[in-house]
């Protein structure tokens, strides 16, 4: 009985708290950030502050390209008083669709660009210090917007798929959330070397589902040749060009042993 009363009181207190949320006190300073006459904010995707109080704004401004699929990313620095200091990375190759900006304990500036699938580390002087990920090449035949397959695709070494954010631990390791498609967190050591990742879906679970889907595709009728089966199976889950340097990342080798190599579904079958 006493336990039931405690549970009841707990839920009543939660309900009362939800009805009367605490006030967040703030002071509004209109037009605090002073932009030059020829620069404008787009959608502001991220804001960060360094040890000197300088404000870094990663905005979907400086738009270039067509109406659909245009590049939209610009990194601006302001002083603690709001005065414009500089633009960092003007027309940088990695700029495509701004997503987040962070400043680490050494005042290095990190940005994640969802459109180019790249993370850039700038030193405090604003020069590029490290680059993670790889942008789709404009001249590649398969360059196109990435798809969102379910289950998520396995990660490909050195590449992200719509990367979103960064964080650090006390040892200086960087954790990169990757992202809207891969659904994992990649770990980078303090020297910039990959040192592991974690996924929302276990690799064993992913392999099981992928093999099942490939088998169903092969037996669905109309797919009789090994090449046709491979094409149909990979169409289920791929963004078309990711992983081109690592063989076939969409069909794990374990499928071969499970289904008698699926009659040529895998390379070398």
209 shares its domain with 191: no
Same domain, residue pair 180 and 211: no
Long-range Cβ pairs for the range 101-106 (8 Å, 24+):
101/45, 101/46, 101/47, 101/48, 101/56, 101/57, 101/58, 101/75, 102/46, 102/48, 102/165, 102/166, 102/167, 103/48, 103/49, 103/50, 103/56, 104/168, 105/168
pLDDT in tens, 151-173: 777 777 788 989 999 999 999 99
Q: Which tens digit of pLDDT belongs to each residue from 173-213?
A: 999 998 788 888 999 999 998 887 776 544 444 444 444 44
Question: What is the span of the domain harbouring residue 126?
Answer: 43-199
| pLDDT band of 139, cuts 50, 70, 90 | confident
120 within a domain of the structure (yes/no): yes
Of 168, 199, 230, which residue sits at a domain end? 199
In the predicted structure, residue 218 carries a pLDDT above the cut 50: no
Backbone torsion region of residue 157, taken as left when φ is above 0, otherwise alpha when ψ lies between -120 and 50, otherwise beta: beta
Q: How confident is the model at residue 233 (pLDDT cuts 50, 70, 90)?
A: very low
Q: 83 and 167 in one domain?
A: yes
222 plus 182 within the same structural domain:
no
Q: Residue 21 has what pLDDT?
A: 79
Give the chain's domain count. Answer: 2
Reported as a single tens digit per residue, the pLDDT across 34-69 is 999 999 999 999 999 999 999 999 999 988 888 877
> In 3D, which of 130, 119, 115, 103 has the Cα closest to residue 186?
119
Domain match, 217 and 142 both: no
Residue 234 lies inside a defined structural domain of this protein: yes
59 and 180: one domain?
Answer: yes
- 55 plus 178 within the same structural domain: yes
Task: Looking at the structure, tell me whether residues 179 and 150 fall in a common domain.
Answer: yes
Percent of the chain at pLDDT exceeding 90: 42
The reported pTM is: 0.65
Domain final residue, candidates 199, 219, 236: 199
Q: Are residues 212 and 193 part of one domain?
A: no
pLDDT greater at residue 29 or residue 264: 29
Residue 147, pLDDT > 90, answer: no
Q: What is the CATH number of the domain that holds 163?
A: 2.120.10.30
Do 134 and 117 meet the contact criterion of CB atoms below 8 Å apart? yes
């Amino acid at each position: 009985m006493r336990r039931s009363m405690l549970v009841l009181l707990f839920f009543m207190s939660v309900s009362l708290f939800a009805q009367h949320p605490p006030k967040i006190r703030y002071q509004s300073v209109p037009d605090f950030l002073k932009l030059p006459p020829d620069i404008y904010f787009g959608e502001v995707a991220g804001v960060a502050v360094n040890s000197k109080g300088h404000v870094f704004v990663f905005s979907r401004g400086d738009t270039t390209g067509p109406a659909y699929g245009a590049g939209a990313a610009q990194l601006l620095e302001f002083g603690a008083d709001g005065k414009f200091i500089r633009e960092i990375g003007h027309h940088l190759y990695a700029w495509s669709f701004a997503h987040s900006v962070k400043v680490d304990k050494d005042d290095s500036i990190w940005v994640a660009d969802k459109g180019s699938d790249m993370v850039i580390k700038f030193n405090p002087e604003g020069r590029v210090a490290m680059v993670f990920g790889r942008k789709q090449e404009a001249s590649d035949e398969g360059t196109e917007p990435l798809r969102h397959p379910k289950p998520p695709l396995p990660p490909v070494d050195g590449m992200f798929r719509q990367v979103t954010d960064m964080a650090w631990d006390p040892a200086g390791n960087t954790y990169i959330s990757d992202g809207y498609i891969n659904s994992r967190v990649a770990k980078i050591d303090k020297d910039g070397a990959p040192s592991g990742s974690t996924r929302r879906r276990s690799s064993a679970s992913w392999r099981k589902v992928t093999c099942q889907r490939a088998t169903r595709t092969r037996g669905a009728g109309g797919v009789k040749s090994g090449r046709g089966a491979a094409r149909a199976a990979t169409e289920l889950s791929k963004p078309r060009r990711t992983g081109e340097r690592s063989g076939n990342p969409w069909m794990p080798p374990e499928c071969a042993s499970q289904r008698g190599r699926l009659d040529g579904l895998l390379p070398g079958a």
